[in-house]
Amino acid sequence: MTLTKAQIIEEISIRNGLTKKKSTETVEAFLEIMKKTLESGEDVLITGFGKFCVKNKKKRRGRNPATGEDLMLAPRKVVTFKCSGKLWERLNKNIV
């Protein structure tokens, strides 16, 4: 199951005793700050969670899987995520 923004807002509202409106405003403000920071090319580090990084992809050769046609993919930016050591440990604590 995927955790949705609505579920995050609901959980924040319950845990912190905030109204849904205030929780929504908080989540929206947080996401907007992240988007603007990433858009400007800066990384977003959330201690104990992980780091969102903007990477530049160069122009490269690709292939249309439907037709097999070769084509050139334009340069672009992508966002990558690297989880923190603490998050990694929580994810893997029951794996032996």
Is there a single domain that holds both residue 52 and residue 91? yes
- In this prediction the pTM is 0.79
Is there a single domain that holds both residue 12 and residue 34? yes
Is there a single domain that holds both residue 96 and residue 52? yes
Q: How many residues does the chain have?
A: 96
Q: Report pLDDT digits (tens) over 39-93.
A: 999 999 999 999 999 999 999 999 999 999 999 999 999 999 999 999 999 999 8
Is there a single domain that holds both residue 8 and residue 48? no
Q: Residue by residue, what is the 3-state secondary structure of the chain? A: CCCCHHHHHHHHHHHHCCCHHHHHHHHHHHHHHHHHHHHCCCCEEECCCEEEEEEEECCEEEECCCCCCEEEECCEEEEEEEECHHHHHHHHCCCC
Is there a single domain that holds both residue 25 and residue 13? yes
Is there a single domain that holds both residue 93 and residue 66? yes
- Looking up residue 64, the CATH number of its domain turns out to be 4.10.520.10
Residue 27: give the domain boundaries. 1-40
